[in-house]
Amino acid sequence: MLASRVKYDENDRQVIREKLQTCINPLNTASHLVNIVTGHICTDEVNVHNAIDLGKSQMKEYEASWPAAQEESSYNEREQEKQQQQLLLSSLTLD
C-alpha cells in the first residue's frame, strides 16, 4: 500500500472514532432512555412501565368528553336509514 493511502485511512478512522465518541448508545438503558426516531433523551419523569395504563385512562377521558348529543344524533340517523330501507324493501314486489 502507498504511504499516502495508509495516512488517509488512518485519518478516516480517527474521524469516525471521534464521531462515535460523541454519540450515545441507545441500547444502554441503564443511564438513559432514547427515542430511536428523534434521538431525544428522555427525562427521569418518563415512565414507560405505565404507558398502557396511561393510554387507557386518556382514552376513557377522551371518550367521556364526547357530547351525548352526537351519539344520539348518529343513533337516530342510523335508525332512520334502517326504517327507510325497510320501507323500500316492503314496497318491492317479487315476480
- Residues 7-48 pLDDT 10s: 889 999 999 999 888 877 766 666 667 777 777 777 777 777
Q: What is the mean pLDDT of residues 66-95?
A: 76
Q: Which residue would you say has higher pLDDT here, 57 or 47? A: 57
Instruction: Report how far residue 33's alpha carbon sits from residue 51's, in angstroms, rounded to the nearest whole number.
Output: 14
Task: Over range 63-88, report the average pLDDT.
Answer: 77
3-state helix/strand/coil string of 14-38: HHHHHHHHHCCCCCCCCCCCECCCC
The answer to whether the beta carbons of residues 20 and 33 sit under 8 Å apart is no
Give domain status of residue 51, yes or no.
Answer: yes
Asked whether the predicted pLDDT for residue 95 surpasses 90, the reply is: no
pTM of the full structure: 0.32
Tally the domains of the chain: 1
| Structural domain for 72, as ranges | 3-78
Residue 52 lies in a domain: yes
Is 64 among the domain residues?
A: yes
91: in domain: no
Residue 87: inside a domain: no
